[in-house]
Amino acid sequence: MEPTTTEHQVRTEAFQFLTELVDRHGEVLPLDPLRRGFDFRGCRVPLMGPQGIFKPALLEWPLSITTVPVIPGRARPYDDALGGPGLLQYRYRGIDPNHRDNRGLRESMRLRLPLIYFHGVEPGRYLPQWPVFIVGDDPRRLSFSVAVDDLLASDSDDAYELPDVARRAYVTRLARQRLHQAAFRFRVFRAYRDSCAMCLLRHPDLLDAAHIIPDRNPRGVPATSNGLALCKLHHAAFDRNIVGIRPDSILEIRHDILDEIDGPMLRHGLQDLHGRPLLVVPRAAPDRPDTRFLQERYQVFRAAS
């Protein structure tokens, strides 16, 4: 069986609906509108269901796949991970390769149908990525390989034509980085209540999710305990070792900056921080800065001073 015009039209409208949701809610979407979905010719089309591989009643093949969020102390039902070459490895539903959901994804691969991937950030919050394609099937490992693509960047006249392997892996790696960065930013901002930890600025457009141990470091995990919500001034100052944070969360300004004479921005924006504690810390203990990370980063600051 080949895809009908309706199959393609529903997917196109689903992508447009997601674009509107992101414009309205930001890149991390609440669960309710995803479960409600949109109306297509009088029929409701949800984008997500209770299972990871989801097919709306109106379609013949799956529309979306979902990775549930990590919940501390609870194992994920499936271990989705990065596969090769640079692709997402998405686990089968169960252990039967011929389960109807697995057959559906296998047919989606054969037909080159675009899907939506939902990455769980926390319970009830998901980051969408679309379109994605099933590009590999490994029954021995009970998993599919998933590639991310950008339809607008495709050089092909066929909107659903897969790109070459190298480009596909490159785009997927970029998408995976974006997903992890966006998820980290969302969790850090939530923990710090959309405020700069050093100055209380509450304008999300002027805030960054900063790493205590830089993400280029193997220990620079994208966990809230390795994060700080900082305004752009204090993020830059922290990254450049102008301001340091002691393990007891007291701020220090580098000596040469303390001795410098300049205008009010230097005095109030940086010098006045010296000796003060962080003004915002997460309420939940697991989200607070890990003192081991602070100690390691503070030694870097001291060496720079």
DSSP class of 134? E
d(CA 43, CA 60): 15
Is the domain of 90 the same as that of 180?
yes
Cβ contact 125:186 at 8 Å: yes
- Beta carbons within 8 Å of 50's beta carbon, 6+ residues apart: none
Is the domain of 162 the same as that of 143?
yes
Task: Label residue 215 exposed, middle or buried (CB < 10 Å: 0-12, 13-18, 19+).
Answer: middle
Q: Considering 188, 207, 222, which residue would you say is the last residue of a domain?
A: 188
Is the domain of 23 the same as that of 86?
yes
- Per-residue model confidence as pLDDT tens for the chain (305 residues): 677 889 999 999 999 999 999 999 988 999 999 999 999 999 999 999 988 999 999 999 999 999 888 665 555 544 455 444 567 889 999 999 999 999 999 999 999 999 999 999 888 999 999 999 998 999 999 999 998 875 444 444 444 444 566 666 666 667 777 777 888 899 999 999 999 999 999 998 999 999 999 988 878 788 899 999 999 999 999 999 999 999 999 999 999 999 998 888 899 999 999 999 999 999 999 999 999 999 999 999 999 88
Cβ contact 52:67 at 8 Å: yes
List, for residues 53-69, the tens digit of each pLDDT value: 999 999 999 999 998 88
Q: Considering 188, 214, 231, which residue would you say is the last residue of a domain?
A: 188
Structural domains of the chain, count: 2
**pLDDT at res. 268:** 92
Is the domain of 299 the same as that of 282?
yes
**pLDDT at res. 102:** 96
Is the domain of 232 the same as that of 158?
no
- Beta carbons within 8 Å of 37's beta carbon, 6+ residues apart: 14, 17, 44, 45, 46, 47, 56
**pLDDT at res. 182:** 83
Is the domain of 282 the same as that of 166?
no
Is the domain of 287 the same as that of 264?
yes
Is the domain of 18 the same as that of 165?
yes
Cβ contact 49:116 at 8 Å: no
The tokens of 35 are what? 């479960």
Is the domain of 63 the same as that of 174?
yes
The tokens of 140 are what? 């021995």
**pLDDT at res. 154:** 41
Cβ contact 287:225 at 8 Å: yes
**pLDDT at res. 230:** 97
Q: Considering 152, 171, 188, which residue would you say is the last residue of a domain?
A: 188
Q: What is the CATH number of the domain that holds 75?
A: 2.30.280
**pLDDT at res. 150:** 55
**pLDDT at res. 299:** 96
DSSP class of 303? H
Reference 29, options 19, 43, 38, 39; nearest CA is: 19
- Beta carbons within 8 Å of 285's beta carbon, 6+ residues apart: none
**pLDDT at res. 82:** 45
Tell me which residue range forms the domain holding 258: 194-304
Is the domain of 153 the same as that of 68?
yes
Is the domain of 162 the same as that of 230?
no
Is the domain of 31 the same as that of 130?
yes
The tokens of 114 are what? 């675009």
